[in-house]
Structure 1
C-alpha cells in the first residue's frame, strides 16, 4: 500500500469518526431535551403523546375549504388549517410570480416613466414590514361599507366589509381547489415539455379554461347554470364566490410585498444577459417583445430560478402572519390548539413537520426546474 493511499484512508477514517461523534452528541442533546420536557410536563400533570388528536375541539374558526363542525377532532381541524395554508400560499406564489415578473421587466424598461414607477413600487413595498402592511390593509378593509352599501362593479363584483364577492363556477369549494391543483400540475407538465414561453402560457390558460368548464358541466348542482353570480339577499350575498375579508387581506398583502422582492430578482437576471445578444437581436430586426421573449427572458431564467425558489419558500412561510388578523391557517389553528389542549410540544412538532414537508417539496421543485432550464452541453 502506497503512502498516499494510506494517508487518504486515515483522512477518511478521521472524517467518519468526527461525523459519528457529532451525530452521537446531537442525539444525546435531543434525548436529554425530550426527557426533560416529559419530566416537566408530568410534574405539571400534563400528558404527552398524540392521543389528543382524536379528541373533539369544541371551538370554531372562520375559514375552511371543506365542511367543518365544532365537534371535529383536532386531527381534522389541523388538516383544515394545513389546507388553508397551502391554499393561501399557492395563490400568493402564483400572483407574486406574475406581478414580480411584470414589475421586474418594467424596471428593466427603457421608458423612464415606466422604470421610475416600478422602482417606486419596489422601494415602498419592500421596505415596509409585511405584518405592518397586512394590519394597515385589514384596518382599511374592515371599515368599508356593509353589504347593503357594498361597492359594485357592473352589479357582478361587490366589495364590502364582509369581503369580496365574485362571479364563479357552480361547483363546491373542494372541486374548485381540485381544479386549482390540476391547473398547477398542467403548468408543471408544460414546463417539462419545454414549450416556448408564450405558446406554453396560451396552452396553459386555454387548457385550464376548458378543464374548468368541463368539470363544472359534470359536477354542477342539478338545475344550476354554469356560472353563479352573487346577489344581495337580506343582509348577505348569496351565490358566486365569497372571499372573506381576512383571506382577501392576506392575499393582497403577501402579493404586494412578495412581488417587490421577485421584481428585484427578475431585474437582476435580465441585467446579467450580455448586451451583445440583444444587439444581435436588434440587428436581425426583432421587435422589443421578441427580443424579451426569445433572448433576454430565456437567458435570464437560468439565473433567476434559484433565488426565485427562495422567494417561493418565503411566501409559504409568510402565511403565518394570518394569526395577526384571525385567519385560520395552520399557525393560527396550532396556536388555538395549544391554548385549548396544552399539548405544546406535539403541536409545535406538527407545525414544524408540515412546513418542512411543504417547503422541502418547493425546494425539490425548484431544483428540478433549475435543472430543466440549464443549457445542455453538446
Structure 2
C-alpha cells in the first residue's frame, strides 16, 4: 500500500476515483432524498405525466396546439418557439453587428461615431431592460382602428404588426427558415473553405446558384405540402370589428424579444468584428493594392475573410450565449421553452423532471450550435505557416 501511495501516477488515479466517487455519492443521496420527500407529499415521480392533457393553451405556436394536447407536445411547442426566436435574432444580430464593426473601422469619423455610440449605449444597458423598453414602445402604438396602414397590405398597431400571410402550417415556415440557414452556411463554406480555394470563380458562382435554387425548390415544396386545405395560398389582413383578421400577426412580445436580443447581440458582435479587422495586418491590404485590386475587392477578398477566421471562435461563444438569452421572453409573456417549462411545473408539480428536460434541451441545442460552427471554423481556419502575416 505504501509503495502504491509513493507512486505519483497511482496517487493521481486514486484522487480522481475519489473525486468521481464523491460526486456520484452526492447524486445518489440527492436522488434518494428527493424521492423520499416526493413520496411524503404524495407526489409521484417519473415522466408518465408527459402523456397527460395540459388543460391550458398558449398564445403563440408554430404548430397546432389545443388544451387537450399533452405536456409532451406543449414542450415541443416551446422548443420550436425558442428555436424560431433564436434563429431570427442571431441572424439579425450578425448582420447589424457586422455593419457596426465595419463602421468603426471605416476611417470615417461620422461613421465611427455612429458605431461607437451604438456599442456604448446598447452594450451597457441590461438586456432585460431593453426588452421591457421595446415592449412598452410597441404596446403604446395606436389601436387597430387607428393602425398605421402600409400600402394596404400591412398594418402596425399596439396589438402587433399584421403582414400578408401564407395559408401554410407553421412547421413548413420553420423548415423553410432552417433550410435558408443551411443554404447560407453552405455558401459561406464554399466562399471561405480551403477545399474550394483553387476552384474557378465561375464554378463557385454555379455552386451558389444551385444552392439557392435548391433552397427555393425546397421552400416551394414545403409550402405546397403544408398548405392548409380549402384555402388560397396568400391571404391579406383586413380590419373587422375591433381587430384584424387573416394575415400573419407578429405579436409585440415576439417583436420586442427579436429587437432587444438582436440589438444587444449586435453591440457585442460589432466589437468582435472590429477586433477581427484590427487583427489583419496593414501589409495584407497593401499587398492587395499592389496586385491591382480595388478597395472593395481588397475588403471582400482579403480583409473580411481573414477577419472572420480570426473571430470565429469568439463568435461561436457569443452565439451560444445569445441563444440562452432568449429566456428573457418570459418577462413579457413570450411563450418560449423556459416559459413552457415554468408553467408546466406550476400545473403538474413535476419539478425535477421538467427542470431536467429544460437543462437537457438547452444542453442539446447549444451543443449542436457549437458543434456545427466549430466544424465550420475547422474548415476555414488557417493552419501552420499560413498564420504568419
TM-score (norm 1): 0.90
Flag the 1:206–1:266 CA change in 2: closer, same or farther, 3 A: farther
Partner of 2:182: 185
Q: Secondary structure at the match of 1:159?
A: strand
Equivalent residue number for residue 42 of structure 2: 45
Instruction: Give distance in 1, aligned partners of 2:230 and 2:40.
Output: 62
5 Å matches for 1:264-303? 264-303=271-310
What CA distance in whole angstroms lies between the structure 1 residues aligned with 2:145 and 2:19? 65
Segment drifting more, 191-200 vs 210-219:
191-200
- 1:154-185 Cα deviation digits (max 9, x unpaired): 22221111211122444222211111111122
Q: Quote the offset at 1:240 in angstroms.
A: 2.8
1:232-256 superposed Cα distances (whole Å, 9 cap, x missing partner): 2333323332211111111111101
**2:334 paired with 1:337:** no
Once the two structures are TM-superposed, the CA of residue 207 in structure 1 deviates from its matched residue by: 5.3
Q: 1 CA distance for matches of 2:260 and 2:38? A: 39
Aligned to 1:247: 254
Instruction: Tell me if the contact between 1:147 and 1:161 (Cα under 8 Å) persists in the aligned partners.
Output: yes
Q: Secondary structure at the match of 1:15?
A: helix
Partner of 2:68: 71
Q: Which deviates more from structure 2 when the two are superposed, residues 172-181 or residues 346-355?
A: 172-181
Q: Deviations over 1:290-321 (max 9, x none)?
A: 12111111111122111101111111111111
- 1:26 is aligned to 2:33: no
Q: CA deviation at 1:120?
A: 0.3
Residue 42 of structure 1, CA deviation: 2.0
SS in 1 for 2:69: coil
Q: Which residue of 1 aligns with 2:157?
A: 160
Greater mean deviation of Cα atoms: 20-29 or 220-229: 220-229
Match of 1:361 in 2: 368
Deviation at 1:222, TM superposition (A): 6.9
Q: Structure 1: give runs of 5+ residues left out of the alignment.
A: 1-6
Structure 2 residue aligned with 1:35: 32
1:136 to 1:288, Cα distance in 2 relative to 1, 3 A: same
Residues in 2 aligned to 1:72 and 1:218: alpha-carbon distance in whole angstroms: 23
Give the equivalent residue in structure 2 for 1:89: 86
Counterpart of 1:235? 242
> Residue 348 of structure 1 corresponds to which residue in structure 2?
355
- For the pair 1:375 / 2:382, whether they are aligned, the reply is yes
Aligned residues: 372
1:103 aligns with one of 81, 93, 100: 100
2:171 maps to 174
Distance 1:162-1:207 versus aligned 2 partners, 3 A rule: farther
2:196 maps to which residue?
Answer: none
The aligned counterpart of 2:197 is none
SS in 1 for 2:72: helix
* Contact kept? 1:171, 1:221, Cα under 8 Å: yes
Pick the aligned partner of 1:320 from 319, 327, 331: 327
Q: 1:52 to 1:318 in 2, by over 3 A?
A: same
Instruction: Give the match for residue 119 of structure 1.
Output: 116
SS in 2 for 1:16: helix
Q: Is the 8 A contact 1:301 1:373 kept in 2?
A: no
Deviates more, 1:354-363 or 1:164-173: 164-173
C-alpha separation in 2, matches of 1:205 and 1:125: 34
CA distance in structure 1 between the aligned counterparts of 2:123 and 2:156, rounded to whole angstroms: 27
1:195–1:308 distance in 2 versus 1, CA, 3 Å: closer
Contact 2:98–2:270 (Cα < 8 Å) also in 1: yes
Name the TM-score, length of structure 2 as normaliser. 0.88
User: How far apart are 1:19 and its partner, in Å?
Assistant: 2.0
Instruction: Report the secondary structure of 2:13's partner residue.
Output: helix
Unaligned stretches of 5+ residues in structure 2? 194-200
- Contact kept, 8 Å, 2:57 with 2:66, in 1: the verdict is yes
